[in-house]
Chains A and B, each alone.
Chain A
Amino acid sequence: MVQSAQFAHSLEGWFGFLPLWGWAAISAAIIIYFLALPFGGLATYVERKIAADMQDRIGPNRVGPLGILQFLADAIKMLGKEDFVPKGGDRFLFNLAPLFVVVGSCTAFAVLPLSKYLIGADVNIGVILILAVTTLIAPGILLGAWASENKWSLLGGLRAASQIVSYEIPVALSILPVVLISGSLQMGQIVDQQGWTLFGENPATFHFWNAFHNPFTFFAMFILFIGGLAETNRIPFDLPEAESELVSGFNTEFSGMRFGLYALGEFCDVFVMSAMVAALYLGGWHIPFLDIEKLGFALPTALVAMVHLTVFMVKTLLVVFVVMWLRWTLPRLRVDQLMGMCWKGMLPIAFINVLGTAVWMWVFKGQSMMQLLAGHG
């Protein structure tokens, strides 16, 4: 950290012409324009294409080649719509609420470990920071629902908030095994330790992907994924929206770009959750059994960063694909089933995972299954 303080000091020499808040504003703009908006936009297109494939349809095919510009047309349409606040609704809170959702999900992009050399801010409390900023989504949905002055909205909002608060606990508990293994909350460090390779020497701290560290982490990964699904209100946990019972749930009254902000926030949150699964359990930027930095000859850092970025994106987008695939596969849960599953099913399993990992770390002195099998470490 002292090193990073010196690094920051040397950066100050280069970039000192703007104060800290100026750089903060520029980085926020970069995150939104280069990560959040393109992903959110393309995700709507990809989701419709996947849905069409699964239902044996063609899907969007008019705007641009293969309909890929459909999301731009949608965005322009949404910008052109009337900015409508329902009569009797609360204008201030109605305008404020979507911002919570966008801020909450976009801020988390800052600590995603895209590559060893490309992390927006490899802060000391990376994992905690993601958990913290994504909690802002719950008040955003709840306040928006209340400000709409609509019974369906309020029901959806209450469902969303209770669901997010409940599933936060199994999610946090399934992150704990990873923290136990790596002894760090820093995203870069957590991913770096998963770089076990077949060739060359491995330091004793290097494990293979955390999902295969021990049997308990394998299940913890699924708990994290399911909890993430519930926190992002995706099918089969889409009770807050539930078209067939609540019209459109918490965003019934939202139209135009305010609705767009909710949708963007949801897609960004899906991306962040998938990236978390990929980084914490699926080895992040590491190609399995191969470390491109230990090939025997030095690659330029920029190329390494690009390869890392590609690998990380492939893993994350595969998880995103599973999320979209589930949407057309599973029916929606009932409210009591949802809560029962969280408190009676996932929470005990998450506790067992934490305890089991702790015992494994104590018995096998922190070695992973792969290290034990290979007989070194």
Chain B
Amino acid sequence: MDLVLLLAEIFTVASAVIVAFHPNILYASVFLLFAFCGVAVMFLFAGADFLAGAQIIIYVGGVTILILFAIMLTQWLYKIKLVDIRNKMLLPGVLALGIGFFLYRALHQMALSLPKLTPEALDKFTATPKTALMGQALLGSYLLPFEAITILLLGALVGAVWLARPE
């Protein structure tokens, strides 16, 4: 099991690195698609099967397609090489290292405060189906935030239709 997870992690990080550094924006978005798929595999290994499916439907089937559309319909955008001539390394490097350090510390502290699971308990946790529990939670104890988000999304949808209306 762990080998597959390790491969998925390497795959995701490698794709993400290509997304960040590839000069061609079209290639960057294709590798973004791969990174999304890798994240879905990681969700599977964390026992979040519904999230994995939703990740692929929304991010691969929706967001990536939209990005590809925008690139292909904008004239010559995909032929521009996005490379900075001046090699700015110092400030971004320091910023990235700083943010990375604080993120690592925060996550490390959080990981220490979590209860330790034995391998058997972990296996049992990942094998329990959570989709039904999630549905009950969303339409039960978290109904208000759920409905608030749906109203927000409906507003966004109506706004988009209004912006795109023929004059």
Residues of B within 8 A of A136 (CB): 56, 60-61
Residues 108-141 of chain B, each 1 if its beta carbon lies under 8 Å from chain A, else 0: 0000000000000001100111011000000000
Name the A residues within 8 Å of B129 (CB-CB).
1, 124
Determine if B68 and A142 form an interchain contact, defined as CB atoms under 8 angstroms apart: yes
Asked whether A2 lies within 8 Å of B53 as measured between CB atoms, the reply is no
| Complex partner residue of B68 from A125, A128, A143, CB under 8 angstroms | A143
Contact B49 A124 (CB under 8 A): yes
Q: Which residues of A contact B40 (CB under 8 A)?
A: 132
Contact A128 B3, beta carbon cutoff 8 Å: no
Summarize B's interface: helix, strand, loop or mixed: helix
CB pair B1 A20 closer than 8 Å: yes
Contact of A139 among B3, B33, B128 (CB under 8 A): B33
User: Which residues, 95 to 152 on A, are CB-close (under 8 Å) to B?
Assistant: 96, 123-125, 128-129, 131-133, 135-136, 138-139, 142-143, 146
Contact (Cβ within 8 A) A154 B53: no
Number of interface residues of B (CB under 8 A): 31
From known contacts A1-B128, A5-B127, infer whether A142 and B65 are also in contact, taking CB-CB under 8 Å: yes
Residue contact B131 to A124, C-beta cutoff 8 Å: yes
Known: A135-B56, A138-B65. A125 touches B127 (CB 8 A): no
CB distance from B87 to the nearest CB of A (A): 27
Restricting to B48-64, which residues have a CB under 8 Å from any CB of A? Answer: 49-50, 52-54, 56-57, 60-62, 64
Could you tell me the distance between the alpha carbons of A143 and B69 in the complex, rounded to whole angstroms? 10
Q: Is the CB of A158 within 8 A of B69?
A: yes
A272 within 8 A of B: no
Say whether, besides A21-B4, A128-B53, A143-B30, A165 and B124 are in contact (CB < 8 Å): no
- A97 to B, closest residue via Cβ: B30
Nearest-CB residue, chain B, relative to A131? B57
CB distance from B93 to the nearest CB of A (A): 30
Whole-angstrom CA separation of A206 from B4 in the bound complex:
39
Nearest B residue (CB) for A136:
B60
Chain A residues with CB below 8 A from B131, complex form: 124-125, 185
Residue B72 is within 8 A (CB to CB) of chain A in the complex = yes
Distance A129 CA – B124 CA, assembled complex (angstroms): 22
Residues of A close to B73: CB separation below 8 A:
158
Number of interface residues of A (CB under 8 A): 34
Chain B's nearest CB lies how many Å from the CB of A107?
Answer: 11
A19 within 8 A of B: yes
Which residues of A have CB within 8 Å of B56? Answer: 132-133, 135-136
B-chain residues with CB within 8 Å of residue A21 when the two chains form the complex: 3-4
With a cutoff of 8 Å between Cβ atoms, the chain A residues found around residue B65 in the complex are 138-139, 142, 161, 165
A213, chain B: closest CB distance, angstroms: 20
The residues of A that contact B64 with a CB separation of less than 8 Å are: 139
A55→B123 CA distance, assembly (Å): 59
Chain B residue nearest in CB terms to A183: B132
CB distance A135 to B127 under 8 Å?
no
Measured CA separation A308–B53 after assembly (Å):
28
Chain B residues within CB distance 8 Å of chain A: 1, 3-4, 26-27, 30, 33, 40, 49-50, 52-54, 56-57, 60-62, 64-65, 68-69, 72-73, 123-124, 127-129, 131-132
- Could you give 28 example pairs across A and B, Cβ below 8 Å? A1-B128, A5-B124, A5-B127, A21-B3, A93-B26, A96-B30, A123-B49, A124-B129, A128-B53, A129-B53, A131-B57, A132-B53, A132-B60, A132-B61, A135-B60, A136-B56, A136-B60, A138-B61, A138-B65, A139-B64, A139-B65, A143-B68, A146-B68, A158-B69, A158-B73, A165-B61, A168-B57, A183-B132
Known: A1-B127, A129-B53. 17 other contacts (CB 8 A): A1-B129, A5-B123, A5-B124, A19-B3, A20-B1, A20-B3, A124-B129, A124-B131, A133-B56, A135-B61, A136-B56, A138-B61, A142-B72, A143-B30, A154-B72, A161-B69, A165-B61
8 closest A-B pairs by CB: A135-B61, A128-B53, A132-B56, A5-B127, A132-B53, A124-B129, A125-B49, A1-B129
